[in-house]
Structure 1
């Protein structure tokens, strides 16, 4: 089984991180006005829980060292994709990366606005399967807390936000065209939650990983064109004002019939043993 084009992606222009680069040859063709692939620019104040993961030592300083996204679910707690913490991306275990930071409140990665906060602790889901991409989530504990208004609620199992057809937004600083054009400013794209049956038809296994409804959901457009892409991994998919997914994987970016696949947040909640009814900010990794 060939692994799909996982979206944990270092920028191909950063030679220091060449080992983390995943080829873009199979990415969707660029379009003249596409961003995050088919999206639009947003200010981080509109989604203050969207954060960037950064290591200048590994990925250079042009865009603040950004390599993945994340989402603040508590003042000191950030969810991201497990594959963002892999040694193939970071070059070392995350606890050995001296300058791993979370950047909050920064729309344009070329500026110094917002906060750069040290990561005090990383926890990667031990059940993450890097072949099937199931269980693709990790928890970062921050050395300093974010304001409570920078935290988003999470959708538990049975929440209507997971229903097919629901309008959702995905956020990130990743590839804006599918051709390696990484955004300096935060972008968003409006997509729709798709049915499990449609996702299973799109990814039945074989050439790509199989879609596993218990731990994944997918979102996009039937005709393609709007999607997350390289560098957006770990970033939020939000519907009805709640976090429902983390950017995980897909085949290309914005291709018809190949929607983006996300870690299902309700599955992560269950595995972490977190109570979404409890006060936000009390979450800790197992």
Structure 2
């Protein structure tokens, strides 16, 4: 899920902080390394046909964006094994951050856009959960984005392939809540470059291989054709995971101990049981 373009006046001050030395790619590259991010990044699909991305933080727990799972639908997680074969696992329960406000768009979200998914069974050997609790993002940091989203809003058939890109952090932005903004270091969102698009929400932001954030929403470039406006290729808004380590640690521990058949609501209003997942066209 992505949002409409940010107002240029909110970002003008940030652009002056961006160093130009970071190496960047203009478009995402398909991840083909059997030992690479396919071992950590997963795809999330709902019975409503929505797609998001997420990150394994334990053998049976996925961290993603709360807006990806705010509807009580059926959800499943698709993992990619070392031979790049896909396997579908049912989501047994989801828990959104208690500050998250369902029904709001990501850019208007006053709470914290984070959620965890409890898988019905562990992913097993060949996968590498990441620890999202220790890192931070500073202005000027080179980061990587990974996700299963589309390469353009009007190309839905390009989803479900894991792609990565190099970006740079340009600082924090206070909109409805505080996010970290990352963008293509060459284009600086003036024209379209690398960044998140539909289906990349919930995917990881990594610095030096360590998970430091979760993709929340994106904007189009500041200069684009009014007849073909897009919410991709400009700025990517990130929820910094290092600022929410207490909730991540405590909730992950609770979900690790949770039996797959736990009833919805036993752990609070932000938790629900997933319904049986039925595949629909994206």
Check whether TM > 0.5: yes
1:157-196 residue pairs with structure 2 within 5 A? 159=135, 161-181=136-156, 182-196=158-172
* CA offsets 1:211-268 (integer angstroms, 9 cap, x no match): 643xx2221135231101111111111112211111111222123xxx2101111233
* CA offsets 1:125-151 (integer angstroms, 9 cap, x no match): 221133335300111011111247420
CA contact (8 A) 2:205 2:211 kept: yes
- In 2, the alpha carbon distance for the partners of 1:122 and 1:186 equals 23
Matched, 1:233 2:201: yes
Normalising by the residue count of structure 1, what TM-score does the alignment of the two structures yield?
0.65
- In 2, the alpha carbon distance for the partners of 1:142 and 1:104 equals 11
Q: Kindly report the root-mean-square deviation, in angstroms, between the aligned alpha carbons of the 2 structures.
A: 3.3
CA contact (8 A) 2:29 2:164 kept: yes
Deviation of residue 74 (structure 1)? 0.7
1:107-122 residue pairs with structure 2 within 5 A? 113-122=85-94
1:38-187 residue pairs with structure 2 within 5 A? 38-43=27-32, 45=34, 46-47=36-37, 48-55=39-46, 57-59=47-49, 67-87=51-71, 93-94=72-73, 97=74, 100-105=75-80, 113-129=85-101, 130=104, 131-132=108-109, 134-147=111-124, 149-156=127-134, 159=135, 161-181=136-156, 182-187=158-163
- In 2, the alpha carbon distance for the partners of 1:107 and 1:211 equals 40
**Closer/same/farther in 2, CA of residues 146 and 44 from structure 1, 3 Å limit:** farther
Question: Where does the alignment leave 5 or more consecutive residues of structure 1 unmatched?
Answer: 1-5, 8-21, 28-35, 60-65, 88-92, 201-209
Task: Find the structure with the greater CA-based Rg.
Answer: 2
Matching residue of 1:219:
182
Q: Which moved more, 1:124-133 or 1:224-233?
A: 124-133
* CA offsets 1:165-203 (integer angstroms, 9 cap, x no match): 22211111212034334334211111112222xx45xxx
Aligned residue for 2:232, secondary structure, equals coil
The structure with the greater share of residues assigned to strand is 2
Matching residue of 1:30:
none
Number of paired residues?
216
